Amino acid sequence: MARVVRFHRIGGPEVLQIDDVVVPPPLAGEVRSNVKALGLNRADAMFRSGQYLEQPTFPSRLGYEAAGTVESVGRDVQGFTPGDAVSTIAVPSQGRYGVYGEIAVVPATSLVKHPPFLSWTEAAAVWMAYLTAYGALIDVSNLASGDFILIPAASSSVGIAAIQVARLVGAVPIALTRTDSKREALSRLGAEFVMTTENQDLVAEVMRITKGQGARIAFDPVGGPTIASLTAALARGGTLFLYGALGAEPTPLPHLDVFSKALTIRGYLVFELMFDPARLERAKQFVLEGLTSRQLKPVIAKTFALSEIVEAHRYQESNRQIGKIVVTV
């Protein structure tokens, strides 16, 4: 028996509970691991509340991201042996392969051996954030030295990853945050400029910073009416990436800016990389090299024990954090 976090109905953090369950051995192509730490993502909360791309079947597991040691491997698995320190990239299904708990069984293709200098907490905070940033900014856009990039929700783990990835290639990250409370922290974390959207004119400030050119990329997980300001602040031929749907309000299409400046509005999910082995291998090498050089370093906002999983989800939804929330097991 193993302690596993599951939920039996849609709802808020309070629906999460720890159940004692029998976790089956790995099937062909799968790896069973002892979990040491797991990272929280907004997708987990959306799945729990019935607002995600995948709908749960009850009782449902959840969670994309964990780090631990290999316990056993299924038939046809190569490259992993018991005792290996591994972390998950992104599992194909939270309901089937959710990693919240003491034991996780996931496809071998969802695992990577992380650098040994990472703690379990850090290893559980790497892959969703950095692969999301890498996929949109490097793999799709080929972000380069001197490019300006707008990063809404910059204090999130993906936002911080985007700042670090931009700095690594010489681009100029402009962090966006609602109030002044996170301004100093975002500057310390590498943002070249920090803008507070509640008391600054986004478009005017971006045009001032870029000398009237506008930003090449906006990397947005929110949507909603601020899309109009983001597209107005983009340069001709720029790209707006939508990689999340955190905003509760409808997202308008700013068609005048889109066609007059030949803009691209593009949705992005990390699973683009997961389903393309060549792209995924390049992504893993980029992140591993960045971690080894210390130019990429996950920022941990706060840690909780597995028994505090409800409190961890409540803290995530408070939006007070800067970086990744991690649960230790």
Q: Per residue in 17-59, pLDDT tens?
A: 999 999 999 999 999 999 999 999 999 999 999 999 899 999 9
Range(s) within the chain of domains with CATH label 3.90.180.10? 2-126+298-328
Say whether pLDDT at 246 is over 90: no
Find the angle CA(105)-CA(325)-CA(243) to the nearest 5 degrees: 80
- With tokens 């936002």, the residue in question is 159
Evaluate whether 105 touches 30 at the Cβ level (below 8 Å): yes
DSSP symbol at 50 = T
Q: Confidence band (pLDDT; 50, 70, 90) for 142? A: very high
Fold classification of 128-271 is Rossmann fold (3.40.50)
pLDDT tens by residue, 286-329: 999 999 999 999 999 999 999 999 999 999 999 899 999 999 99
For residues 28 and 107, what is the distance between their CA atoms, to the nearest angstrom? 9
Q: Confidence band (pLDDT; 50, 70, 90) for 64? A: very high
2-126+298-328 architecture in CATH?
A: Alpha-Beta Complex (3.90)
For residues 108 and 96, what is the distance between their CA atoms, to the nearest angstrom? 14
Say whether pLDDT at 247 is over 90: no
pLDDT tens by residue, 89-141: 989 999 999 999 999 999 999 999 999 999 999 999 999 999 999 999 999 99
Tell whether omega for the bond before 252 is within 30 degrees of 0, i.e. cis. no
By CB atoms closer than 10 A (0-12, 13-18, 19+), residue 258 is middle
pLDDT tens by residue, 182-214: 999 999 999 999 999 888 999 999 999 999 999
Q: Which two tokens stand for residue 150?
A: 């707008």
What pLDDT sits at residue 245? 85
List the beta strands (DSSP E) in 74-205: 85-88, 103-107, 111-113, 148-151, 172-177, 193-196
